[in-house]
A and B are shown apart, each in its own frame.
Chain A
Amino acid sequence: MAELDGVQAEPAIEGRGLSRSYGGVHALNDASMSAVAGEVHALVGENGAGKSTLIKILGGRTRADTGTVSVGGREVKFAGPDAAHRLGVWTVFQELTLLPWMSVAENLMIGREPRSRLGLIDRRGMERRAEDTLAALGAEHIDPLALVEDIPLSQRQTVEIVRAISYEPDILFLDEPTSSLVEREVVWLFGQIRRLRDRGTALVFTSHRWNEIRDIADRITVFRSGRNVGTFKELPEDDAVTLMTGRRLEALYPQRPPPPPAVPALALKSYNARGVRDVSLELRKGEILGLGGLAGHGHRELFFSLFGAEKMIAGTVEVGGKAVRIRNPREAMRHGIALVPEDRKTEGLLLAMSVRDNATLAVLRRLARFSILRHVRERQLAQGLIDRLRVRTPGLSNPVGALSGGNQQKVLLGRWLLAEPNIFLLYDVTRGVDVATKHEIYELIMRLAKEGRAIMLYSSDAEELAHLSHRVLVMREGRIAAELSGAELDAEIIVSAAVRDRIAT
């Protein structure tokens, strides 16, 4: 660990002694950080360590309670992101800020639309400019005329990034830019980052993926509990994890239980849904069945239609050996199926409602007598869950949206644990979750499997699939393209099975 003593060059942007609390909880506590021109600076830390808050403050989106921000050596007080933009400070925030019902071109050119002689927006010109911008930055695969709501998440994130770098910023913050990008776009982004660095931009980004950090960061600053705990030129992953969590972590992936006997929990025969073609599979009791493949190849539709949230078109579904028809999530729950969806913020949790309300939502009926909720019982149940999963929350009545991502995910998983289903459909449950929480989630999955519950797991992380699953089914264009088990449970094999051309096989 080569820790830097001082920064040689004058920082392009610097925050000193920054603190910010939300409702009495310190998100940032006397944190300092600076970036110099022509460097790529990675911020690492667990969810809730304060990285995003720091970026929001330096990017002008929120203000610090105390502390100073200076740009180019001069102290500034940003009234909003606009003020930051005027000083060349741009940010790609974690939550997307595009307007979904407007086109890519309109979003890219917002606030700088070319005008016609009459002062009206010159649509044709705007679209041409947007197309030029996309092409100049190597993102020509995105259709400038498409509505943002019609393009996949990864492309939206790309548009978001294109918009920021098209202003040729002096200082650019990227808050987890890669979490929703696909491989190819990550390569593209890193090319752009290098280009900007070489022309003197100061770049700051956050990521939970260590190989990315190793690839591209010139310096690494580690955050823990709202404070920077060190800045390094080089930092091995193990040391980083120790610094981030304050303790050493055993192996990330726990030992998986031996493969279970072939007692089917769920069987699909010639199953069809929108985007899912002719899928036949068997999920056994106590089995962890991984689903691999590129995003957008039918996993989501398979999960949602199995859970009754989307229509199934044809085929048969057997739960515990009996043919069933599932028309809505309530019926799925009655058959012992649980779904933890992709986007916990819009599809999983009720962010403004309390931890307790969120935890017990799926078991309300069981908690009620003559539809009156038994409050003491509900509290006990929620509290027991919070203790068991070690959810860090000030209390049961705090809004779940105030928790860190990892703790939010635990509450969501906990909701379904309370429902005691036999079949878990887990859709990318570790996305955007820090390494310590990931480990806890893995252990939880193993425990569930040992209890004899069946788990179907989709993950965008092939490494994760390879380590957790007994078997992996790789999906391509809505079909099952490969079944991998034993020695084939390897991240590289999974990825190559996902992208292999169908004719070539």
Chain B
Amino acid sequence: MASSAEPVMPGPETPVPTGQDAPLLLRLLGSPTRRRILYALLASIVLFAIGQAVRPGFASPSGIRAVLTIASFVGLVAAGQTFVILIGGIDLSVPWVLNGASILMVTSSLGSNARAIPALLLTLGMGTLVGMLNGAGIVLLGVPAVVMTLAMNGIMEGLTLGFSGGMTCAACGSYAPPVVQAAVHDSLFGIPTALLLWLVVIVLVSVVLSMTTFGRRTYAIGNSPRASFLAGVDVTTCTIGLYALSGLFSALAGIVLVGYGGQAALGMGDPYLFQSIAAVVIGGASILGGRGNYIGSAAGAISLVTLVSVLMAMNMPEYGRSIIYGVIILVLLLLYGREDAER
């Protein structure tokens, strides 16, 4: 709408087209956000077909389950990233919040089931707190989000390395409590718990964004912090809350990952920064804020992980994967940017 600041009202005698009159297909594809969700899902289907052709069994139920499970890790981080990108922010502290959380989980639980619950709460609390600090720095001190969260990533890296002595010591039990590992690996009605957890998160986040006052205020701030403030929106609290959510989801992803792999490792959070942001953008959210939703980010995460898996199935060497991966993201963003400019 940006290009059409010209008031465009028809006169009283002109029939006014309403959304309801448009053909169904057009209505479904009406908003660019919705169109992109569809693109992302279609891309995943095509990629599964390619994967199946390259390596039979790729698109089998167990193959799909495996891809989706991995996508759920990206998806969890992308949930937090969606929240902050919706207000035009970004969370670059994801890698070491996630990594710190996974190491805090194993070191505080010492691999024992008895300590699993307190360790879980401690870890989630740590993620939330770090996120709150991010938000406070941004909204109270006026530090740009990129700078604040990047600095926080460095601080978390330092803290994690310092406290864990450079490596997680095998002697003090660098394994997640068996009950957490079992929980992640378990499945209910044939669906892995990690996936179920993601489904719950998808529903919850979508409800929060589309049906609550908090969600509405989030979009409002993303559209104009100034106008929102002047309409009585508590921009400060809201911003801190959103970054806290991002920290919480990074920590949650760290816990699920350490449950999935059994062990924490240094550097395990690194891939999730780029992937979480890419998932949000592929899913149709505007990087400038104000537009997008979590269903889109989830679809983005699925198509992204499917792509990586197909490339691996094709035995593409690591460096080739990186290049293709990067090129595809660039092309997508270029196309989306064009689409925006034409509106």
Closest chain-B Cβ to A7's Cβ sits at a distance in Å of: 26
The 9 closest A-B pairs by CB, nearest first: A225-B11, A404-B7, A48-B9, A48-B7, A350-B223, A27-B8, A24-B17, A52-B6, A404-B9
Among B100-108, B110-118, B206-214, B266-274, the stretch that binds chain A is: B206-214
**Could you tell me if A348 and B227 are in contact, using CB atoms closer than 8 angstroms?**
yes
Judged by a CB distance under 8 angstroms, whether B186 is at the interface is no
Q: Smallest CB-CB separation from A53: which chain B residue?
A: B6
A49-95 interface with B by 8 A CB criterion? 49, 52-53, 56, 62, 94-95
A310-362 interface with B by 8 A CB criterion? 329-330, 332-333, 339, 341, 345-353, 357, 361-362
Q: Smallest CB-CB separation from A365: which chain B residue?
A: B213
8 contacts between A and B (CB under 8 A): A225-B11, A225-B13, A329-B229, A350-B227, A364-B216, A392-B10, A394-B16, A402-B8
Residue of B1, B226, B234 contacting most chain A CB atoms (<10 Å): B1
**Could you tell me if B220 and A347 are in contact, using CB atoms closer than 8 angstroms?**
no
Closest chain-A Cβ to B209's Cβ sits at a distance in Å of: 11
**Could you tell me if B6 and A225 are in contact, using CB atoms closer than 8 angstroms?**
no
**Could you tell me if B230 and A309 are in contact, using CB atoms closer than 8 angstroms?**
yes
| A2 / chain B contacts, CB cutoff of 8 Å | none
**Could you tell me if B8 and A397 are in contact, using CB atoms closer than 8 angstroms?**
no
Judged by a CB distance under 8 angstroms, whether A102 is at the interface is no
Judged by a CB distance under 8 angstroms, whether A135 is at the interface is no
Contact digits for B1-40, partner A, Cβ 8 Å, 1 yes 0 no: 1111111111111101111001000000000000000000
CA distance A25 to B18 in the complex (A): 10
Judged by a CB distance under 8 angstroms, whether B323 is at the interface is no
| A353 / chain B contacts, CB cutoff of 8 Å | 219-220, 223, 290
CA distance A371 to B213 in the complex (A): 6
Judged by a CB distance under 8 angstroms, whether A296 is at the interface is no
**Could you tell me if B8 and A357 are in contact, using CB atoms closer than 8 angstroms?**
no
**Could you tell me if B212 and A339 are in contact, using CB atoms closer than 8 angstroms?**
no
Contact digits for A366-383, partner B, Cβ 8 Å, 1 yes 0 no: 011001110100000000
| A246 / chain B contacts, CB cutoff of 8 Å | 11-12
Judged by a CB distance under 8 angstroms, whether B232 is at the interface is yes
CA distance A401 to B1 in the complex (A): 7
Q: Smallest CB-CB separation from A401: which chain B residue?
A: B1
**Could you tell me if A368 and B14 are in contact, using CB atoms closer than 8 angstroms?**
no
Interface of A with B (CB < 8 Å)? 21-27, 29, 47-49, 52-53, 56, 62, 94-95, 224-226, 246, 307, 309, 329-330, 332-333, 339, 341, 345-353, 357, 361-362, 364-365, 367-368, 371-373, 375, 392-395, 397-399, 401-408, 415
**Could you tell me if B10 and A226 are in contact, using CB atoms closer than 8 angstroms?**
yes
Known A48-B7, A351-B1, A364-B216; contact A397-B19, beta-carbon cutoff 8 A: yes
Q: Smallest CB-CB separation from A361: which chain B residue?
A: B231
| A53 / chain B contacts, CB cutoff of 8 Å | 6, 8
**Could you tell me if B214 and A339 are in contact, using CB atoms closer than 8 angstroms?**
no
> Per DSSP, are chain A's interface residues mostly helix, strand or loop, or mixed?
mixed
CA distance A95 to B5 in the complex (A): 8
Known A341-B230, A346-B227; contact A405-B7, beta-carbon cutoff 8 A: yes
Q: Give the contacting residue for A27; candidates B6, B16, B223; CB below 8 A.
A: B6
CA distance A24 to B228 in the complex (A): 29
Q: Give the contacting residue for A407; candidates B7, B207, B212; CB below 8 A.
A: B7
| A364 / chain B contacts, CB cutoff of 8 Å | 213, 216-217
Judged by a CB distance under 8 angstroms, whether B62 is at the interface is no
Q: Smallest CB-CB separation from B215: which chain A residue?
A: A373
Closest chain-B Cβ to A64's Cβ sits at a distance in Å of: 12
Query: What's the interface size class on B, roughly?
Result: 35 or more
Known A357-B216, A361-B233, A397-B19; contact A94-B8, beta-carbon cutoff 8 A: no
| B224 / chain A contacts, CB cutoff of 8 Å | 346, 349-351
Closest chain-B Cβ to A387's Cβ sits at a distance in Å of: 14
| B9 / chain A contacts, CB cutoff of 8 Å | 25, 47-48, 392-393, 403-404, 407
| A375 / chain B contacts, CB cutoff of 8 Å | 211
Known A25-B10, A94-B5; contact A329-B223, beta-carbon cutoff 8 A: no
CA distance A22 to B216 in the complex (A): 26
Closest chain-B Cβ to A343's Cβ sits at a distance in Å of: 9
Closest chain-B Cβ to A356's Cβ sits at a distance in Å of: 10
**Could you tell me if A402 and B231 are in contact, using CB atoms closer than 8 angstroms?**
no
Judged by a CB distance under 8 angstroms, whether B65 is at the interface is no
CA distance A352 to B5 in the complex (A): 11
CA distance A47 to B13 in the complex (A): 16
Q: Give the contacting residue for A373; candidates B7, B211, B232; CB below 8 A.
A: B211
**Could you tell me if A362 and B6 are in contact, using CB atoms closer than 8 angstroms?**
no
**Could you tell me if A357 and B220 are in contact, using CB atoms closer than 8 angstroms?**
yes
| A407 / chain B contacts, CB cutoff of 8 Å | 7, 9
Closest chain-A Cβ to B219's Cβ sits at a distance in Å of: 7
**Known contacts A353-B220, A394-B16; can you find 18 more A-B pairs with CB under 8 A?**
A225-B13, A226-B10, A246-B11, A329-B231, A330-B232, A339-B230, A341-B230, A347-B230, A352-B2, A353-B219, A362-B232, A373-B211, A373-B213, A398-B19, A401-B1, A403-B7, A403-B9, A406-B7
**Could you tell me if A394 and B212 are in contact, using CB atoms closer than 8 angstroms?**
no
Closest chain-B Cβ to A349's Cβ sits at a distance in Å of: 6
Judged by a CB distance under 8 angstroms, whether B291 is at the interface is yes
CA distance A95 to B233 in the complex (A): 27
**Could you tell me if B14 and A329 are in contact, using CB atoms closer than 8 angstroms?**
no
| B232 / chain A contacts, CB cutoff of 8 Å | 329-330, 332-333, 361-362
| A367 / chain B contacts, CB cutoff of 8 Å | 213
**Could you tell me if B19 and A373 are in contact, using CB atoms closer than 8 angstroms?**
no
CA distance A329 to B220 in the complex (A): 15
Q: Smallest CB-CB separation from B223: which chain A residue?
A: A350
**Could you tell me if B212 and A371 are in contact, using CB atoms closer than 8 angstroms?**
yes
CA distance A404 to B7 in the complex (A): 4
Q: Smallest CB-CB separation from A396: which chain B residue?
A: B19
